[in-house]
Amino acid sequence: MSPAAASVNGGGGEMSEKVKSPVDLKKSNVPPIAHPTPDDAFGVAANIQYHVQYGPHFSPFKFEPEQAFYATAESVRDTLIQRWNDTYAHFHKTDPKQTYYISMEYLQGRALTNAIGNLNLTDAYGSALMKLGHDLETIVDQERDAALGNGGLGRLASCFLDSMATLSLPAWGYGLRYKYGLFSQRITKKGQEEYAEDWLQKFSPWEIVRHDVVHPVRFFGEVQSQEDGSRRWIGGETVQALAYDIPIPGYQTKNTISLRVWDARVPAQEFDLYAFNAGDYAKAESLHAKASQICAVLYPGDATEEGKLLRLKQQYFMCSASLQDIIARFKERRPSKGPIDWSEFPNKVAVQMNDTHPTLSAPELMRILMDDEGLGWDEAWAITNKTVAYTNHTVLPEALEKWSQTVMAKLLPRHMEIITEIDKQFQAFVTKTRPDLESKIESMRVLDNNPQKPVVRMAHLCVLSSHKVNGVAELHSDILKKDLFADFYSLWPDKFQNKTNGVTPRRWLRFCSPELSTIITKWLRTDKWVTNLDLLAGLRQFADDKQLHKEWAAAKLQNKVRFAHYLEEKTGVKINPNSMFDTQIKRIHEYKRQLMNILGVVYRYKKMKEMSPEERKKVVPRVVMLAGKAFATYEQAKRIVKLVTDVGAVVNNDPGIGDLLKVVFIPNYNVTVAELAIPASELSQHISTAGMEASGTSNMKFALNGCLIIGTLDGANVEIREEIGEENFFLFGARADDVPRLRKEREAGQFKPDPRFEEAKHFIRSGAFGDYDYEPLLDSLEGNSGYGRGDYFLVGYDFPSYIDCQKEVDEAYKDQDRWVKMSILSTAGSGKFSSDRTIAQYAREIWNIQECRVP
């Protein structure tokens, strides 16, 4: 059952009966009427009928679930377009300062549930579909997740858009329209296999193509000096950025903002007809093929120079199209007569770079202001610095992008000139104002001129270009100030801020867990918590109430039963809903330590095998679930996936263990899967090496849904533990301050592994889980070499603490009164972690924008 359908089917009445077969629309009493803003079941049904009868996509004589979904989505889109038009017109009329959020990823999830929920039309659409012979549950399940993102970065951006709209802020998102996304993950006996996503195989009903919004984007070419002394970028290849708008409705507001994504194309005249007719088909379509590559795949492999060029092309294409669009809108809202006052630009525009992928927004804005608008360097730099802000999301070395100077100069020669000048002026600034930092200039520069590998440090360029730099959790922001950007912080302490991440309570509680939401509303006697999450604190006064315990446990069980059905359908593994549901769902990476999780499972399984039947009766039944994608070229991550599936294949078929332990790898994890898994989970693992996770947001979603966390003091775990209470958090492992020392001790050969750690590794090496060669994976936990070796992520050090903490989890779960109380207090303490709070802080403390509500 889908989350959306649960909210409809749980309401009783005619909607509680699932329709078995669609009616013949020709015999339906519902006429096809174009009604773009219906608010009752009959009007909705008539508008759906209209899209069935007059839509260009399917035969009008079919009304199977797929056709019904597209017609339903287009009916909703009618309302969204009307609201989007009203919002755009209102922004244009009032001309507020507007934020533009530029992100390489947006992980939206299914839009139908969220849209009708935010529009307060869920019941109307449920009833309308019943009149047409369908149920909302079945229709919602037809939608495919948009493949515009991969993990937490993209999901955060999507939560932020929801909050921007809900808070009626003048704000938009910008990104790219990937045709195939990252990849579709299948789990086979070989482990993870990657296939192209097919979300656009037919079309997306939520996109609105804007054929009148097209911007040229140039690559390669050369820079020439002009007679007036200016520099002009000419030649090379030029492609067009075509805009697609995806409307984002707010909750209980008419404001509907836009996620504008760009697709790359070339004009028809670029097709070489002569070459085609001469049989040189590749030459004829050369530029078309290159354009199609730009938005084909999210994060294409960059092991080759071609791959590096394509990644940099993607980033610049997104930045250039977005900045040109922002400037065009700024001009559109200015009086038509007289020269433009560019000093007003930072008073009307705020650009937020979500991580380092949009770094080129800064030099691109400089290029446009100087080369196209004729401003001098100092004026252009002042405007850019006041306009642009940067959010850092990682301390991982491989994620702090560094681009080859050779590649940059080849692809973007004008930008390389601008970056070089930024670097030159920064050096002069430090020399003049902070002579005590002269010895550190080389490590602070944007240009690393290492003769073997000269690179552009994109994170440093972000820091220099931005008026504000923020981390995404208190611990992470402290690390930025004290370690990663410590010298920059000493230069500009006022530039650095913290903005702890949040999640939207609409998608991540109200819509995905309607049973629990209903209980919360009942006990709080208000549903205003949906837009004011701090009200959840009111649950604390009822934390010992046995009636609430009963209702709470029943809602959690209902979610578990729903998810158990899904897992059996997708994986073939039948699980007992009365087991503890233990979940780790994250991008597969060594620092997130899925390897420690599965080593713990291996140890647990071995100990259970050694128990007597009487001892096994005392074991808490547990289902351990992992999900996430390993990047296609990340071999260690793929080995971890393979180990999880191999362990599951043995454990799940061991008759002596039965339902006491199950291990499930959930394939092709996405937002829709999360909307089922998170409400069903009772324990969630957030076990990264301390100091390496910037924030995390899945931990917030789990805590919000009354799921308890076992974790380290890393990222937002620190603040979650403070908010929900130390006694409601299962803590283990080294602290961030201890990690450097422990790594040095490891390198010096001073680490003595716990016998349980050695036992788990030996059990895998024994062949208990098959003959796959796990030595490269297990070897990463041995030795004393550097990053990625010598147990750099301290799995061995934290393993005994982790095992002991899991015993505490088992003991707590045996006392269900205690466990349910902890669950209630987890939800009650989650008020801080609303993206509404985060975005309100961005608006007030970085962007300086105000509410601009559509009347």
What amino acid positions are annotated as catalytic residues? Answer: 393, 586-587, 592, 697, 701
| Token couple for 309 | 């060029």
Tell me how far apart the alpha carbons of residues 628 and 669 are, in angstroms, rounded to a whole number.
5
Give the angle subtended at the CA of 627 by the CAs of 391 and 765, to the nearest 5°: 115
Answer positive or negative: Cα dihedral of 343, 217, 400, 630.
Answer: positive
Check residue 793 and report its DSSP letter. T
HEC string for 584-632: EECCCCHHHCHHHHHHHHHHHHHHHHCCCHHHHCCCCCEEEEEECCCCC
Q: Name the burial class of residue 569, with classes exposed (0-12), middle (13-18) and buried (19+) by CB atoms within 10 angstroms of its CB.
A: exposed
Q: How many CB atoms lie within 10 A of CB 341?
A: 10
Closest to 588 in 3D by CA, of 653, 529, 667: 667
User: What b/e readout covers 735-764, taking b as 16+ CB neighbours within 10 angstroms?
Assistant: ebeebeebbeebeeeebebeebbeebbebb
- Distance set, CA 359 to CA 355, 514, 631, 742 (Å): 8, 40, 23, 34
φ/ψ of residue 730, rounded to 5: -95, 105
Closest to 505 in 3D by CA, of 533, 467, 543: 533
Question: What does 128-177 look like in DSSP terms, one character per residue?
Answer: HHHHTT--HHHHHTTPPPP-S--SHHHHHHHHHHHHHHHTT-SEEEEEE-
Tell me how far apart the alpha carbons of residues 661 and 651 are, in angstroms, rounded to a whole number.
7
Tell me how far apart the alpha carbons of residues 450 and 441 are, in angstroms, rounded to a whole number.
14
Asked whether 199 and 177 are in contact (CB, 8 A), the reply is no
Instruction: Please report where in the chains the tokens 């839009």 appear, as a residue.
Output: 111
Tell me how far apart the alpha carbons of residues 123 and 9 are, in angstroms, rounded to a whole number.
10
Residues 6+ apart with CB under 8 A from 485: 392, 459, 463, 469, 496
Tell me how far apart the alpha carbons of residues 638 and 636 are, in angstroms, rounded to a whole number.
5
- Distance set, CA 665 to CA 18, 496, 642, 662, 769 (Å): 31, 40, 10, 10, 15
Give the angle subtended at the CA of 451 by the CAs of 450 and 457, to the nearest 5°: 35
Tell me how far apart the alpha carbons of residues 166 and 1 are, in angstroms, rounded to a whole number.
27
Write out the H or E segment, with its range, that includes residue 460.
Answer: helix 458-465
How many Cα atoms within 13 Å fall on the side-chain side of residue 463? 27
Asked whether 670 and 145 are in contact (CB, 8 A), the reply is yes
R_g over Cα of the chain: 28
Instruction: Please report where in the chains the tokens 């041995």 appear, as a residue.
Output: 782
Residue 689, helix vs strand vs coil: coil
Asked whether 650 and 609 are in contact (CB, 8 A), the reply is no
